[in-house]
Structure formats: C-alpha cells, structure tokens
Amino acid sequence: MVEKQLTRERASSWSWILQAFTGIMLVVLLGLHMVVQHFVVTGGLRNYQQVVQYISNPFLFLLEIAFLIMVTWHALLGVRAIILDLGLNPATERKVTAFLSIVGVVVVAYGIWLSATIVAQGA
C-alpha cells in the first residue's frame, strides 16, 4: 500500500534544465557586467553622466536587459527550488510558481522602465 503522497500526479519539468542554462549564460553575462561596471571607467564606478552615456548605447541597453532577464529567472527558479524542497501539496506549489513568475515579470519590467527613464533623463 503506497502512501498517498508518493502517488501524487507527476509532471515533466524543465526547471532544472532552465536553471543550468540561465546559470551558464550568467557565467558570461555576469562576468561581463562586473568588468564593465567596475573596471572600465577611471575610478571604477560610473557617475551619473557615465551611466547615462553607457545605457544610451542601444546594444549595451539590450545586453543589460538580457542580463537582467537571465539573473532574475535564475534567482527566482532558485528560490522556487528551495521552497519545493519542503514538499508542499501540489496546489500550494502551483501558487508559489505563479507568485514567483509575477515577481519575475515585475522585476524585469522595472528594469526596462528604469533604464528607459535614465536614457530619457539624459537625452
């Protein structure tokens, strides 16, 4: 007689594969971000004018947004992984996934808004 919890409905998952993929993307993108934001301008950190100049470059704008998407996705997948280790019931787990997905969308939207605002302020 197999306990009820073991026979719960099972579903194929891409979460770990996405975790690994976003992680590998971050090895490159985070590395780039750290170098570009800490070691390119004299003195290391960019002042306001230097930030405006940087983010107004369309390629760099897109690169930073791509980085934000990868890091947010990886971070929230990770938070979800830790929560799932608690073995909660399927309905609760779906709510957790939905909530974290919304947080992810909000964070990326905030990043795009903020970057666009800086570009506009500097123009």
Partner 1 sequence: MKLNVKIYRYKPGTEPHYDTFPVEVPETANVLDALERAWADHDMSIMFRHACHHASCGSCGLLVNDQEKLPCVTPVTDYGEGATLKIDPMRNMPVITDLAVDASVVYQRMELIGMPIIRNAETIRPDKRTILPEGLETFGRFENCLECGLCLSACPVMATDPQFLGPMTLAAAERLLAEPRGADVDRVYRLVDDEHGVWRCHSSFECTEACPYEVDPGAAIMRLKRKIGMRKLKRFFGGS
Partner 2 sequence: MASDVQPKPVKRKPIEWFNLKGKRVGFWAYVGMRLSAIGLVLYLFLHLAVLSQLAVGPTAWDNFVALAKSPIFLLLDVILIIGILVHGLNGIRLSLIGFGIGVPSHKLMLWLAVILTIVFSILSALAIFSETH
* Contact residues: partner 2, CB under 8 A: 16, 20, 23-24, 26-27, 30, 34, 38-39, 43-49, 51, 71-72, 75, 78-79, 82, 85-87, 107, 110-111, 114, 117-118, 121
Binding at 15: pick from partner 2, partner 1, none (beta carbon under 5-8 Å per type)? partner 1
The minimum distance between CB 39 and partner 2, in angstroms, equals: 6
Please state, in angstroms and rounded to a whole number, the distance separating the CA atoms of residues 75 and 103.
11
Contact flag: residue 87 with partner 1 (CB under 8 A): yes
With residue 45 as reference, give the H or E element that holds it: none
Binding at 117: pick from partner 1, partner 2, none (beta carbon under 5-8 Å per type)? partner 2
Quick check: 58 and 101 in contact, CB under 8 A? no
Matching residue, tokens 């073995």: 87
Quick check: 23 and 75 in contact, CB under 8 A? no
Contact flag: residue 91 with partner 1 (CB under 8 A): no
Quick check: 36 and 72 in contact, CB under 8 A? no
The site for partner 1 (CB under 8 A) is made up of 1-3, 5-8, 10-17, 84-87, 93
